[in-house]
Structure 1
Amino acid sequence: MRAFLNVFLACALFLTAACSSAEQLAAAEREVERFHKAFDEGQFGEIYDKAADAFRKGATRQEFIAFMETVQRKLGKVEEAKRGNSNLNYSAGGTLVSLAYATTFANGKGTEQFGFAVSGKKAVLVGYNLNSKDLLLR
């Protein structure tokens, strides 16, 4: 009986973690959709304002807006974003979800890397990186 109870508890913990992981991943994916919508609408200040303090320490609001304006001017709006790799890292401080997207813009392509701190069903942007040779060549 005790062995059965141990197996049952292990399965319950695994299922709880799996559901939690799926919810955290879904929360981060929703934020990527919001990011792209705000990007397309030129709401760069809103993206910056909603990001985590750690993100905002990397650049001033004006620097971020200027960068995003350059990206949009050169590459255009997002036409398609296909999620590639994802990674969830758990620590005592919370969960970090990293997502990679192969993104097609109106005037080029790039690989976007997003980092989100996730707590419950809420994800907050902590990192963003765009690699695009089209951005450099235009």
Structure 2
Amino acid sequence: MRTLTTLIAGAACLAGCSVAANRSAAEAGIADFHKALDAGQFDTIYDGASPDMKTASAPQAFGGMLAAVHRKLGAFRSGTAVNWNDSHTMKGEFVTISYAAIYERGKAQESFAYRMLSGRAELAGYHIASDALILN
């Protein structure tokens, strides 16, 4: 019985470490995303994205959307993770983070999905909602 309890506790610790590392990798991905967005490096964001993202959006469409975000909202100022989730699916492991962002010309709610591959986070999805995108 003691061995089983030790094994379960050990597995929980390893899973917890993985979740924390995944979240850190995804948050670093968000910081890199915003730096590239501010620098107008939309191709860099797309090129580093996972096949999930590339299947869902053509490079020109994705780059055009990011250009509009940058043009209408301006430079990224700050942001805070509102909630996050680490999930294991039949398609792989994903970390999703909802993010409250403040840009130069308005606020936005962003949602990032990252596919986790050997401790590396690849952007698998990005969604943004902002009144300023419509009003600016």
Q: For 2:129 and 2:93, locate their aligned partners in 1 and report how far apart those are by CA, in whole Å.
A: 25
Q: Is the 8 A contact 1:89 1:95 kept in 2?
A: yes
Q: Is the 8 A contact 1:88 1:97 kept in 2?
A: yes
Q: Which runs of 4+ in 1 moved over 6 A?
A: none
Aligned to 1:130, the other structure's residue is in SS state: strand
Q: Which residue of 2 aligns with 1:65?
A: 63
Q: For 1:59 and 1:9, locate their aligned partners in 2 and report how far apart those are by CA, in whole Å.
A: 43
Report how many residues are paired: 136
Q: Which residue of 1 aligns with 2:129?
A: 131
Q: For 1:91 and 1:12, locate their aligned partners in 2 and report how far apart those are by CA, in whole Å.
A: 22
Q: Structure 1 residue 27 and structure 2 residue 29: aligned?
A: no
Which TM-score applies when normalising by structure 2? 0.96
Instruction: Give the AA of the match of 1:127.
Output: G
Instruction: Give the AA of the match of 2:29.
Output: E
Alpha-carbon offset, residue 33 of structure 1 = 0.7
Q: For 1:118 and 1:14, locate their aligned partners in 2 and report how far apart those are by CA, in whole Å.
A: 19
RMSD over aligned CA atoms reads 1.0
Q: Is the 8 A contact 1:24 1:120 kept in 2?
A: no
Q: For 1:57 and 1:94, locate their aligned partners in 2 and report how far apart those are by CA, in whole Å.
A: 16
Q: Which residue of 2 aligns with 1:52?
A: 50
Q: For 1:121 and 1:137, locate their aligned partners in 2 and report how far apart those are by CA, in whole Å.
A: 39
Q: For 2:12 and 2:108, locate their aligned partners in 1 and report how far apart those are by CA, in whole Å.
A: 36
Whose Rg is larger? Answer: 1
Instruction: Give the AA of the match of 2:112.
Output: F
Structure 1 unaligned spans of 5+: none
Structure 2 counterparts to residues 60-99 of structure 1, below 5 A: 60-99=58-97
Q: For 1:12 and 1:134, locate their aligned partners in 2 and report how far apart those are by CA, in whole Å.
A: 48
Which TM-score applies when normalising by structure 1? 0.94
Alpha-carbon offset, residue 119 of structure 1 = 2.0
Q: 1:117 aligns with which of 104, 115, 124?
A: 115
Alpha-carbon offset, residue 11 of structure 1 = 0.5
Structure 2 unaligned spans of 5+: none
